[in-house]
Amino acid sequence: SLEDSRINPADNLIIYFPPDSNNLTAKAFEKLDRVFKFMAKNPNTRINIIGFSDSTDSSSYDQMVSESRANTVKNYLMAKGVDSTKISTLGVGSQAFSATNGTEEERQMIGRVVIEFNTPTTK
């Protein structure tokens, strides 16, 4: 179907967040609705949701923001009907980006959640 063709489980899906925020954007809702439809049609799929933040604040604050972003995405998918046992979350703070504070646009690209799909292969 068209919805399935718009999600390739071999690729990670990225949800961007406004700087210093865990609010979902209209584009994020659209992507997450596609994830929900994909999960409904592929019930054996599991996903990992990994939250990131920039390094503009303390490492403990950045860690909290990244975890909050991952949980925001998880909670939205669970509210749509995705089984919570098929979702794992991880907040990694800004550890992967400590040297990259850059421009506002670059920081916005850092503030994100990556959704990894673990789709079992059939033999």
Q: Taking the C-alpha atoms of 108, 110, 111 and 112 in order, what is their torsion angle to the nearest 10 degrees?
A: 120
Q: What is the CA radius of gyration of the chain?
A: 15
The residue ranking higher by pLDDT, 54 or 5, is 54
* Confidence (pTM): 0.83
pLDDT one-digit tens code per residue, 27-52: 999 999 999 999 999 999 999 999 99
Q: Evaluate if residue 3 carries a pLDDT over 50.
A: no
* CB 70 within 8 Å of CB 89: yes
The arithmetic mean of pLDDT across residues 107-115, rounded, is 78
Let me know the angle formed at the C-alpha of 84 by 83 and 85, rounded to the nearest 5 degrees: 90
Quote the CA–CA distance of 123 and 113 in Å, as a whole number: 31
